[in-house]
Chain A
């Protein structure tokens, strides 16, 4: 058994009066690839955003890479160095070139010299097959290219964990595949991945585990085969019938 790299214990969170995460228990092993699905508003994005403290939980305990998440800024910064994140809207920095987007954090957070940071950035850009666009600005690229840059940017800090928050939801159908291909390659590298997505094909081919959430709770979690072929709860069956119908 490999160790748990992420652990949620009885985690609760409220937005004002709205109880968005309810008694979340979740253990993620090192190298595990997890897909999280569920209807919108079910708390799946909120849950993964708690892992790098983009959202604050009010009750329970979250431990990431051996560090407990508290209000302590030191801990938060330490965890963020271990966790990379990819957003639905890419969130590239439009005033910086692609290369500058990638070297910013290594230079300022990792204190790596510029030349080395650039070398590292080019390696990552080659990995996502976009090295020739290094000198361009993000808005000059297509959505799929921007998202691949965003993945490369997150990888530049050599994170142990990658979080994907609906990475293909803002993309044209033609571009989804190029992003998914990059993600599949990452999955084969052995990095721990948590991915909120409705790409069930991706879940079937790479996930070790699929988690289904509704109304702030984890309803069901299982291997993809079991999850898709033999869903246990009525709510899961209902959800699957809707998203797999077409």
Chain B
């Protein structure tokens, strides 16, 4: 070594080659011959399939609720007329036709706190109050019997409002329950631990369909004669318990990942068990499993379509009801399914984006 003094090298701008559209294309799509071939094949498939799809879905499609025109176009163009004709039955199910403004308002009301929950500055105690008020309003509107509203039995609730109710409330109840179960499975108290293990393994070990069947058909048999629990409530409890069992395992996965030192540090500072869980363990554990939690939420959202088998007409069930009951339109079920698929997809995609947003919000502390 000859240099006596340390000479720092000044930082320079990155080479120009790394920036710009062409550089991006080269790096990402044509990096080597393998990725170039892949790019060409994928673009080729798109160019081949896309015109056919557009032809069917747009060019030759029938947009008016004209049954004859739809029958003529069958096989060549889509019949979106079926949705124009039947949308109210698909969206609101068997809810009395002239009262359908009530589920419409109820569903729109539900959207308000949903959107508010996704806006960080609005996270406060008022949000909880808003949720309680909206849910109360939802039930009042849907059920009626007060304020001069005609009573509507829960068995006639259907379509999108039912799907929303089951998934939003199901998730909202399943999540806190799952956290308790996950903590319980790691408890030092054998009774609590066993109870949680039995619950998770029992529920996780059977298909949702059988849980729904039990809630709907078997449960009343065990009840004393004369007692009646609303079928919607029973199914709701079934879905919540089912979703919570899966979620509990996701949450437990997050809890396992928190180093023991975190709990020891909290203990050495005198924090109690619940303070430690609430302030130290859960915030870190839940942050780790946000993608998996959202995965479970999305599953639950779509699983609500299974309530059809116990005669509750959610979105999927209402579609079958709308098309199955009408000989003229029955053959256009594919278009109907595309329609509700689009509704489900919108919901799932929104949840997925929300999860990514939450992750970014929570990762602030990891930015170096």
> Which A residues are within 8 Å of any B CB, using their own CB?
52-54, 77, 80-81, 83-85, 87, 89, 91-97, 104-105, 108-109, 137, 139-140, 153-154, 157, 163
Specify which chain A residues have a CB less than 8 angstroms from the CB of B152 in the assembled complex. none
**Among candidates A96, A97, A153, A163, residue contacting B269 with C-beta atoms closer than 8 Å:** A153
Q: A139-B365, A140-B368 are in contact. Are A91 and B261 (CB under 8 A)?
A: yes
Cβ of B44 within 8 Å of any chain A Cβ, yes or no, is no
Specify which chain B residues have a CB less than 8 angstroms from the CB of A85 in the assembled complex. 265, 268
Q: A93-B262, A93-B280 are in contact. Are A52 and B368 (CB under 8 A)?
A: no
Specify which chain A residues have a CB less than 8 angstroms from the CB of B266 in the assembled complex. 93
Cβ of B256 within 8 Å of any chain A Cβ, yes or no, is no
Question: Which residue of A has the minimal Cβ distance to B273?
Answer: A73
- Are B271 and A95 closer than 8 Å at their CB atoms? no
- Are B267 and A54 closer than 8 Å at their CB atoms? yes
CA gap between A80 and B265 in the complex, in Å: 11
| Shortest CB distance B362–A (Å) | 8
- Are B265 and A139 closer than 8 Å at their CB atoms? no
**Among candidates B269, B283, B366, residue contacting A105 with C-beta atoms closer than 8 Å:** B269
Residue of B259, B266, B271, B365 with most chain A CB atoms under a 10 A cut-off: B365
Cβ of B67 within 8 Å of any chain A Cβ, yes or no, is no
Specify which chain B residues have a CB less than 8 angstroms from the CB of A108 in the assembled complex. 271, 275, 279
**Among candidates B262, B271, B275, B366, residue contacting A91 with C-beta atoms closer than 8 Å:** B262
- B245-270 to A contact mask, C-beta < 8 Å, 1/0: 00000000000000101101111111
Q: A91-B261, A91-B262 are in contact. Are A109 and B366 (CB under 8 A)?
A: no
Q: A87-B264, A104-B279, A139-B368 are in contact. Are A95 and B270 (CB under 8 A)?
A: no
> Which B residues are within 8 Å of any A CB, using their own CB?
259, 261-262, 264-272, 275, 279-280, 283-284, 287, 362, 364-368
Specify which chain B residues have a CB less than 8 angstroms from the CB of A83 in the assembled complex. 268
Question: Which residue of A has the minimal Cβ distance to B275?
Answer: A108
What are 19 A-B interface contacts by the 8 Å CB criterion? Answer: A52-B267, A80-B267, A83-B268, A85-B268, A87-B261, A87-B264, A89-B261, A91-B259, A93-B280, A94-B284, A94-B366, A104-B271, A105-B269, A139-B365, A139-B368, A140-B368, A154-B268, A154-B269, A157-B269
**Among candidates A87, A109, A137, A163, residue contacting B265 with C-beta atoms closer than 8 Å:** A87
- Are A95 and B287 closer than 8 Å at their CB atoms? yes
**Among candidates A81, A139, A157, residue contacting B366 with C-beta atoms closer than 8 Å:** A139
Specify which chain A residues have a CB less than 8 angstroms from the CB of B267 in the assembled complex. 52-54, 80
Q: A108-B279, A153-B269 are in contact. Are A95 and B365 (CB under 8 A)?
A: yes
| Shortest CB distance A169–B (Å) | 14
CA gap between A84 and B264 in the complex, in Å: 12
Specify which chain B residues have a CB less than 8 angstroms from the CB of A84 in the assembled complex. 268
| Shortest CB distance B325–A (Å) | 54
- Are A109 and B264 closer than 8 Å at their CB atoms? no
Specify which chain A residues have a CB less than 8 angstroms from the CB of B264 in the assembled complex. 54, 87, 91
- Are B265 and A93 closer than 8 Å at their CB atoms? yes
CA gap between A127 and B169 in the complex, in Å: 50
- Are A104 and B284 closer than 8 Å at their CB atoms? no
Specify which chain A residues have a CB less than 8 angstroms from the CB of B284 in the assembled complex. 93-95
Specify which chain A residues have a CB less than 8 angstroms from the CB of B270 in the assembled complex. 77, 80-81, 105, 109, 157
Specify which chain B residues have a CB less than 8 angstroms from the CB of A105 in the assembled complex. 269-271
CA gap between A91 and B269 in the complex, in Å: 12
CA gap between A83 and B269 in the complex, in Å: 8
CA gap between A53 and B267 in the complex, in Å: 9
Residue of A77, A81, A105, A153 with most chain B CB atoms under a 10 A cut-off: A105
Known: A81-B270, A93-B265. 17 other contacts (CB 8 A): A54-B268, A80-B269, A85-B265, A91-B264, A91-B265, A94-B365, A97-B365, A104-B271, A104-B279, A108-B275, A109-B269, A109-B271, A139-B365, A140-B368, A153-B269, A154-B268, A154-B269
CA gap between A137 and B259 in the complex, in Å: 18
CA gap between A203 and B169 in the complex, in Å: 61
**Among candidates A80, A95, A154, residue contacting B283 with C-beta atoms closer than 8 Å:** A95
Specify which chain B residues have a CB less than 8 angstroms from the CB of A92 in the assembled complex. 265
Specify which chain B residues have a CB less than 8 angstroms from the CB of A137 in the assembled complex. 364-367
Specify which chain A residues have a CB less than 8 angstroms from the CB of B279 in the assembled complex. 104, 108
CA gap between A53 and B268 in the complex, in Å: 8
CA gap between A93 and B262 in the complex, in Å: 7
The 8 residue pairs across chains A and B that have the minimum distance between CB atoms = A91-B265, A105-B269, A85-B268, A91-B261, A80-B270, A137-B365, A109-B270, A81-B270
